[in-house]
Amino acid sequence: MSFSFKRFLPHVLVILGFVALSLAYFSPVLQGKKIFQSDIMHYIGMAEQQKDFAKETGEETYWTNSAFGGMPTYQLGAKYPHNYIKKLDLALRFLPRPADYLFLYFIGFYILLLSLKVDFKLAALGALAFGFSTYLIIILGVGHNSKAHAIAYMPMVLAGILLTFRKKYILGFLLTIVALGLEIVANHFQMTYYLLLLVIVLGLVYLLDAYKKKLLPHFFKSVGLLSVAAIIAVGLNATNIMATQEYVKESTRGKSELTINIDGSEKEASSGLNKEYITEYSYGITETFNLYIPKFMGGGNSENIGKDSETYRSYVNLGASPLDALDLSKNAPMYWGDQPIVEAPAYVGAVIIFLFVLGLFLVKGRLKWWLVAGVILSLLLSYGKNLGFLTDFFIDYVPLYNKFRAVSSIQVILELCIPVLAIFALVRLFNDFQKDEDKLKALKYAVAITAGLCLVFLLFKSTLFDFKSLRDEGIPEALVDAFIRDRKALFTADTIRTLVLVLLSGGTVYFFLKKKLSENLVVIVFTVLILFDLVSVNREYVNNDNFVSALNVDKPYQANLADKEILKDKEHFRVLDMSSEGQRKPGRAAYFHNSLFGYHAAKIGRYDDLMNFHVYNNNMNVLNMLNTKYIIAEDQGRIFPYNNTEANGNAWFVSELRQLTDANSEIKALDSLDNKNVAITTMSHWDNESQVSKFVIDSTASIKLKEFKPNYLSYESNNTNDGFAVFSEIYYGEGWNAYLNNELAPHIRVNYVLRGMEVPRGKHIIEFKFEPQVVATGSKIALASSAIFGILFLLGILYSFKKKSD
């Protein structure tokens, strides 16, 4: 027992240290404050209806009417039955947000390095370098929580894979199941996809190594075990994966039927996002040096450079008030790269980059090659449209690559790989595998490359770069010149900063090789250097100022006079928020009403088409068929609700149903369609030559909504003739079922996005119920997978004890 305690004590202390550091960096959480994250503010607005429904009924709804006319909640935090891997994830995230994600960064990377047999002190150092990587902190500041969540579990997945290849079959197999299950439960499939690309690179390197060493049987045995682990991990998340896969087909990430643009020009039908949207955030090739010098490209779009800046003085000289000049200097447009918006540089760290370069010369074997290959691949793909031939190849030929946007975010792979090789530089420095002469030679090369690069930039900055931004257009020339001088000043200061850190790092290694410093002292020095290097940059962008009272985060929206007036109306309708606040905060209207707008990266594809072709152009004909009863307008700062008395209502009988040939003709027809009397569809509905059905509507025909919930609607119809009813609800065939007098009845998509169905003469009760079969099926698979994992886990433990006993 004593031996076991001593063995695990260092790890316990390290974990406690991670907890303390996570809470220290985000110390306001200890006061009950919460970090204000813009993306989470939008999410809260989108998810309010489903959360309210769960509180009121104790049930989960998988459909919300609060945004974009209506959509599934699969990517809005839906909770599924038998999702036990999610319970484990919640247990691991026991700290207040966002300290919980920082802790996961640390612990995941620590486990990865331990799986590679790295000493716990160096493993802890590597965990700090990874966790405090600037990009990983910045995404917490803006609210990309699911992205941070998925990134945090990446190292743990790699740990399971590497343990398996190290012939630790049982431990590697079980860890891979758990880690990959947690990775998937984070629900950021773009990050998981990028991890898969890295795993493929790792696998290819290990395959070549196994071939050279004649160890192919072991390689394929490991791959077989890992494949089974992946299947079980997917099974643990079956409901979410199946629901997402089903929804993707109907979303903007799926295939579009349209072959025309808004202006009528032709375009190719796409099976994913278009290239312009995918590559909108493409990393500049020159911007690569941001990884090494934080403000190489000026930092972010809005930098606080203070009153002593050229920008402040120039703006005052141009006639601005000192207050306006101060405001500009606190939000100065210093970023001069090509991306539309950059919150902060994706800084990996000068010290870590130096150690990475040192590792290129000291580390040998397959570990180095898959790490270097991962760095190169992620860097090249992050260039996006700036390296068009490679990006176009991946978009056109690599499966699923065209489902994701913001290609620059693939740099999370290099942000993972670089610290691993950097720590292994210290591992090789400390062991006796190489002579001190060789280590000294590697040190000289590393210093020459990293310090030499800084000197080149300092000496030739004005020759190499013009420091101009595309966003400078239209700004007075004197002010642009001031921007350029300030950008140069930031560039120079941070280049000198990096040079000093490199020399300190190189000096530390040099004195160790000269036996002037011990291993423990070297670890302490690098811990101080890395923490200073990364934390000082991070605190410029994410600090205590980002925290506000918990109430402001939990309830980020306050009802204005227009909202209060609309909320008096207890009927079922939609709201279009055209106010300036509504445009800035697209999730706001969804918080209070059933909104036409919202904030989501994967809307229903056809609804997005409708928005682009008609809603954004204020086509009242289309707004009426969407039952837009209120429009929140603004006049000279006064916000008020406009009551649209022309809205079609919840449902209505039409006198004519026309079948059109394709989606192009359907969406164009909506421009002038008399949708109160005529409906159109492209779904196969009948077999007559005219493809037009006529219906008789008399003055007594009526259809009224009697009950409504997010996942249920009930109507009462009365008609002396057979008729066809249109419902102002978004059509989604995979889940919504129609019932006529408690009997399942067919319904079709009409008017591009709405629901329609034939209603026989007489009085009837019509119901729509959202009953996604995918949730029922996925939950059964998740339960079975959990049971299988539980059995395998117990068997693994018993086998390990038996083997140890033998």
**Residue 689, helix vs strand vs coil:** coil
Q: Tell me the one-letter amino acid at 108.
A: G
- Give the residue ranges of the chain where pLDDT is below 70: 1-4, 269-272, 684-690, 806
Q: Which two tokens stand for residue 799?
A: 């086998």
The counts of H helices and E strands in the chain are: 29, 19
User: How far is the CA of 716 from the CAs of 555, 741, 764, 767, in angstroms?
Assistant: 37, 10, 6, 9
**For 597, phi and psi rounded to 5 degrees?**
-105, 180
Length of the chain in terms of residues written: 806
Whole-number pLDDT of residue 111: 97
pLDDT of residue 267: 77
Q: How far apart are CA 527 and CA 126, in angstroms?
A: 9
Give the model's pLDDT for residue 336. 92
Q: E strands, 366-498, where?
A: none
Instruction: Note the pLDDT of residue 2.
Output: 46
d(CA 781, CA 392): 37
What is the pTM for the complete model shown? 0.91
Distance separating alpha carbons of residues 304 and 774, to the nearest angstrom = 50
Do 129 and 534 touch, CB atoms closer than 8 A? yes
Compute the distance between CA of residue 792 and CA of residue 713 in angstroms, rounded to an integer: 45
CA distances from 767 to 59, 726, 728, 738 (A): 19, 13, 14, 6
How far is the first Cα of the chain from the last one, in angstroms, to the nearest whole number?
19
Contact 235, 790 (CB under 8 A): no
Q: Which residues, 6+ apart, have CB-to-CB distance to 595 below 8 Å?
A: 66, 67, 68, 574, 575, 576, 577, 589
Residues with Cβ within 8 Å of residue 455, at least 6 apart in sequence:
499
